[in-house]
Every structure is written in structure tokens, then in C-alpha cells.
Amino acid sequence: MSLISFRQETREWLTNNCPESMLTPMPVDEYPGGGKRASYKNPDTQVWMKLCADKGFTVPIWPKQYGGAGLNAAEAQVLREEMSALNARTPLVGMGLSMIGPALLEYGTEQQKAEHLPKIAKGEIWWCQGYSEPNSGSDLASLQTKAEVDGDEYIINGQKVWTSGADQADWIFCLVRTDSQAPKHNGITFILFNMDQPGVSVKPIKLISGLSPFCETYFQGARALRKNVVGQVNDGWTVAKRLLQYERTMIGGGQGGSAGKSSLSEVAQHYIGITDGKLAQPQLRDEIIQHGMNDRCFGMTVRRNMEESSSTKAPSFVSSMFKLYGTEQNKSRSELLLKAMGLQMLGWEGEGFEQKELEATRAWLRTKANSIEGGTSEVQLNIIAKRVLGLPD
Ligand SMILES: Cc1cc2nc3c(=O)[nH]c(=O)nc-3n(C[C@H](O)[C@H](O)[C@H](O)COP(=O)(O)OP(=O)(O)OC[C@H]3O[C@@H](n4cnc5c(N)ncnc54)[C@H](O)[C@@H]3O)c2cc1C
């Protein structure tokens, strides 16, 4: 099928199938993360997820046999553009789609792919990431959670921290130490296991906002089947690094598309007003235009990188550049919204604020974590210096 026909067909399908309420910006409490414990205030969230999953559109570029639509890079770009033009919400998000799924496609055994990928594509399983530990954040390879062989299984003991969504998660992809004598990068194994078992307990970390988006996660004799090791035993660092590249691409917006985001200039016009057909505050107008141009350049760079890497289909250390720039861009977008909305974006609760204003406040504060999660900006600068620019250690 030509790209033009594909675009036409996709546009028709989206127009005919996307529920009206899914054509609005996504509220922060309507996260379509899937999983066994999922519940949604708006039933259309589930409807939209299922429709897209049946079509393969939750994971458009994955092969059809694993629940994808088997699209090539150009078709996937068309799908993103059409969804964006319609302002259709992303039907499913989470670490399954953007992190462990792609890593399994690359490193998983056929049995692992067949078992996990279709469930991820349908949003049946919520995955969490067991990387960080109390003393291992930026220096992740110093992690100490230990796994010892017991017949067909590993027994796992240790603690993870900042485990996003661990209290909702069905499964975890986890880094464990399987050789304490080897140099730190060479004794780590990447393993998958079920969170719903007696050896796993989670304690949500309560934030000042009252929310608990992440947890302390304890393993006391947790069990994982040996066949659930991804890649080679003691070579988990290879898989871990690649997964981080997928994560960084995702956090930085390096997968392209901005569907579901409100337009900066429309918001500013609403709150500030228009004079002579232009936004009434010239300086803010300039800043919004500059931001829009940067967005466009970034989008084109992302696209060029996608095209250049379409033969390998895997991200690279360049993902650190996307993460660094994309997160700064996202933070500055929220700062511009704040300038435009003024005090209306500084409310936390109570009357005098619309729901979307309260959400904008929370979203603004949430962006502050963008340059920490998935590896801090300083760590990205180190990677860019060493791995992209080839500077000496
Ligand atoms: C919203 C959010 C969600 C998260 N979700 C998860 C999750 O689901 N699973 C998970 O495993 N982890 C998760 N994390 C943890 C995250 O990966 C770590 O916070 C991050 O890697 C930094 O580690 P740290 O917090 O221990 O900071 P540290 O490593 O202690 O760093 C402290 C400061 O020192 C700087 N620094 C450290 N080393 C260097 C260096 N070599 N050069 C220059 N500067 C340096 C850092 O940049 C930072 O500013 C999440 C974090 C956030 C904010």
C-alpha cells in the first residue's frame, strides 16, 4: 500500500473509531497504563486501548505475531502525525511498551517474546523497573541485590528504590548481582519475575503532593525462573544499557509526536488576550515562537535519527542527547505555560481554579523530575562526552 493510501486509511480509521472523549488532553489521573489492577474513571480509556490493541496500534512497529501492526518507520510516522492532527490520546503507555518490550524484541528468547510481548501490546500486564538501589543511582553498576541459583530458579534478596508503579505492577524487570567477585559491570544479570509472590513487598514513598508514584521494593527470598534471564547470565549490563537507551529516548520525546498536549499559543491567548491580532505580551510571544521553533528542530532531528537508524532499529548513545535536550524542552514548555497562566497555574486545590489549571500545576512540578529519572542530566552529559564525542575519561 502506498503511503498516501495508508494515510487516508489511517485517518478514516482514527476518525471513525476514536471516542470523542479521547480527543482531549489526557488528565494526569487517567494514565492508560494497563495491567491486572487497572481501573479508569473514563470507560472510553479502556475502549480506546482495546480498539488500538486489536489493530496493532499500541505497538505499531512491532511484528504482527507479537501484537503489533508491523508498520515500517515511515508508516509509523504517518500514524503519529494523524493521531497528533486529531489530538487523539496515546491509547496505552508504560514501561512494557517503551522499555522491556523493545529490549525483549532484541534480546529475548523466542519463548520470552511469545509469552510477554502480546500481553504488553494488549495492556494486560503492568511492568516496573527494578534498577535503582539506596546506594546505587547514577553509579547503577554498584547494585547489590543478590540472586543465587536454586534448581530451576534464582532466589533474590535485596532492596530497590524509586520503583515507579511497583504497587500497581504485575511483573518486574530487575538487575541482580549473580557474581560478587567479578568486576562490577560483569556480575549483573537481567531477570524478569512476578511481583505477586510472598518474597516481594512494596512500600509506597509518599511525596509532598500526597501522591506515591514510586516505592521502596524489598525482595526477601523472591523467586524467579532461570528461563526468565534476558540475555546471558552475568552479562545483564548489556541489556540494561540498551533498555536505558529506550527509556531515555522515550523520556526525551525521541519517539516523536506530541498528541494530547495543549497548544502553548492558544493557552497564552486565552489567559493574556490578543492585541492587533497578536498575543498581548510581545516578550512571551517571542519566547513561545522560539520554543515552537526549537520543538520543530528537535522533532526533525529525532526524525532524521530514526531514518538513519532504521536499519538497526535500536537506539544508541545518541538517546542521551535526546534525553538531555527533550527534558529541558519539556521543562521550558511548562515554565512558559506558567508565564502565560500566572497565578492560575499556582493553585493546588480549592475553588478559584479549573481542573485543567490544577493539573497544569502538577504537570509543571512533575517536569522537574524529567532531568533525574532514567539517569540525570549530568550523567547524560558524561555519556555524550565519552560515547558520542569520544572525549577521554
Ligand atoms: C520520577 C522518577 C522515577 C523513577 N523511577 C525509577 C524506576 O522506576 N526504577 C528505578 O530503578 N529507578 C527509578 N528512578 C530513579 C532514578 O533512576 C535515579 O534517581 C537516578 O538514576 C539518579 O540516581 P540517584 O537518585 O541515586 O542520584 P545520585 O546518583 O545520588 O546523584 C545525585 C547527584 O549527583 C550527580 N552525580 C552523580 N554521579 C555523577 C557523576 N559521575 N558525574 C556528575 N554528576 C554526578 C547527579 O547528577 C545528581 O545531581 C526514578 C527517579 C525519578 C525522579
What average pLDDT score do residues 71-81 get? 92
Q: What is the pLDDT of residues 130-156, one digit of tens each?
A: 999 999 999 999 999 999 999 999 999
**Rounded CA separation 357/349 (Å):** 10
Q: 349-357 long-range contacts, Cβ below 8 Å, gap at least 24?
A: 355/27, 356/25
Q: What is the CATH number of domain 3-99?
A: 1.10.540
CATH architecture classification, 240-388: Up-down Bundle (1.20)
Domain residues of the chain, as ranges?
Answer: 3-99, 127-230, 240-388
* Residue 185 vs residues 23, 132, 175, 193: alpha-carbon distances, Å: 46, 15, 11, 22
Q: Which amino acid is at 344?
A: Q
**Rounded CA separation 79/256 (Å):** 11
The pTM of this model reads: 0.93
Residue 312 is predicted with a pLDDT of: 64
Q: From the CB of residue 111, how many other CB atoms can be counted at a distance below 10 Å?
A: 10
* Per-residue pLDDT at 293 exceeds 70: yes
- 174, 156 Cβ separation under 8 angstroms: yes
Shortest-distance Cα residue to atom 38 of ligand 1:
138
**Rounded CA separation 18/23 (Å):** 7
Residue 256 is predicted with a pLDDT of: 47
Residue 311 is predicted with a pLDDT of: 64
Shortest-distance Cα residue to atom 48 of ligand 1:
376
* Per-residue pLDDT at 315 exceeds 70: yes
Q: Of 127, 129, 162, 209, which is best to mutate to test ligand 1, by the most ligand atoms within 8 angstroms of its C-beta? A: 162
**Rounded CA separation 79/211 (Å):** 34
DSSP state of 178: S
Give the DSSP H/E element, type plus range, for residue 164.
strand 153-164
* Residue 344 vs residues 110, 265, 287, 340: alpha-carbon distances, Å: 52, 16, 20, 9
**Nearby residues of 171 by Cβ (< 8 Å), 6 or more positions away:** 116, 125, 126, 127, 128, 192, 193, 194, 195
DSSP 318-364: THHHHHHHHHHHHHHHHHHHHHHHGGGGS--SSTTS-HHHHHHHHHH
CATH architecture classification, 127-230: Beta Barrel (2.40)
* Per-residue pLDDT at 167 exceeds 60: yes
Shortest-distance Cα residue to atom 43 of ligand 1:
378
Identify the band that residue 212 occupies on the pLDDT scale cut at 50, 70 and 90: confident
Pocket of ligand 1 (CB under 6 A): 128-129, 131-132, 137-138, 160, 162-164, 214, 369, 372-373, 375-376, 378-379, 382
Q: Which amino acid is at 220?
A: Q
Query: 159 or 254, which is more confident?
Result: 159
**Rounded CA separation 102/385 (Å):** 26
- 127-230 and 240-388 in the same fold: no
Give the DSSP H/E element, type plus range, for residue 265.
helix 264-272
* Per-residue pLDDT at 85 exceeds 60: yes
- 82, 11 Cβ separation under 8 angstroms: yes
Q: Which atom of ligand 1 is nearest to the CA of 375?
A: 21
Diameter over CA atoms, the chain: 76
Q: Which three cell numbers stand for residue 161?
A: 528504590
Q: Which atom of ligand 1 is nearest to the CA of 128?
A: 8
Strands 127-130 and 171-177 come out as: parallel
Q: Which three cell numbers stand for residue 271?
A: 489567559
